[in-house]
Amino acid sequence: MTFDAVRGRNSAGWETQTPSIVDRISSSEASKSGRIPFSVEFSPPRDADAEARLWRAVREFERLGPAFVSMTYGAGGSTRDRTVRVTGRLAEDTTLLPVAHLTAVGHSIDELRAMCGAYADRGISNILVLRGDPPGDPLGEWVKHPDGVEYAEELVRLVRDMGDFHVGVASFPEGHYRAPDLEHDTKYLVSKLRAGAEYSITQMFFDVDDYLRLRDRVVAYDPEQGEKPIIPEIMPITSLRSARRSLELSGSKLPAALEERLTRAAGDGPEENRAAVREIGIEVATEMSERLIAEGAPCLHFITLNFARATGEVLANLGMSASTSV
């Protein structure tokens, strides 16, 4: 699969040998043994020290055997080159199955095609398609690139038309903050699935009922599309300050009771009590995971912040791995 094979034209003639995410989570060793598969999310490192930390986590997770790993993409394409380079190395130098993020914001159609070509050149055929957040202010006004696409649905079709890519999309248990209501949010998700997306990964959430209601809404709106996996994303909280920042950027929120509990644990000193916060965060992530497993979630997808320890502890609590130290 080469860059020339996909750049700027329909490449339906080529086929990838890389498994799709749907195939991987349904045929993983975890599934065969009766356990739920898990996956993890990494972010492009900002400097050499961060990159060294990332690769320590990568090697630890490689030992733990996730079904797949995803690599995020900075707002407005701010980490584009690093995202391609690091995701390519995951494909070439590890046994992990990488999923590359691709966002519409700030990119022309030609640039989006070039990104797909760059991923194809590195042997990457699994792409998570996102509309993306505006650079500078993720909650600010979303402005279409004059030569780009307006909606994630259009980007799904663009990527699928270029060749044998396996495409996933985002879903929002609490509803996307730009959607006027949950009915519209469901309509937008189903339109992305109908456009050719094979699965969705949710935004992080902290109330499992929100995930279950999302799943119910999709099934009620379109039973056929409702059969596609909705993979829940979980963030084991290790810092209240960091969690609040992530939630602010995503437009999501902590349930009031959990926020109160974490606030008490953090204390009112100049530095939060991260050990106490972390203990609650691991406990909550474990409890969420246990319920998601009981409710038939297809896979557990963990935000790692490029560390392996917290996710490793949750997996250990679930009886899915040994505890890790990275």
Residue 170 near residue 202 (C-beta atoms within 8 A): yes
Q: How far apart are CA 205 and CA 159, in angstroms?
A: 28
Residue 201 near residue 231 (C-beta atoms within 8 A): yes
**Interhelix angle 80-93/48-64, nearest 10 degrees:** 40
Question: Out of 41, 60, 198, 233, which one is annotated catalytic?
Answer: 41
233 is catalytic: no
- Alpha-carbon torsion, ordered 262, 315, 32, 54, to 10 deg: 100
* Tokens 């896979």, located at residue: 299
Among the residues of the chain, which ranges form H helices?
3-6, 21-27, 29-32, 48-64, 80-93, 109-121, 152-161, 182-194, 208-221, 240-250, 256-266, 274-294, 309-317
CA distances, 107 to each of 47, 76, 135, 163, 175 (Å): 24, 8, 12, 20, 25
For 251, left (φ over 0), alpha (ψ -120 to 50), or beta?
left
Residue 204: DSSP 8-state? P
* Residues assigned a catalytic role: 41
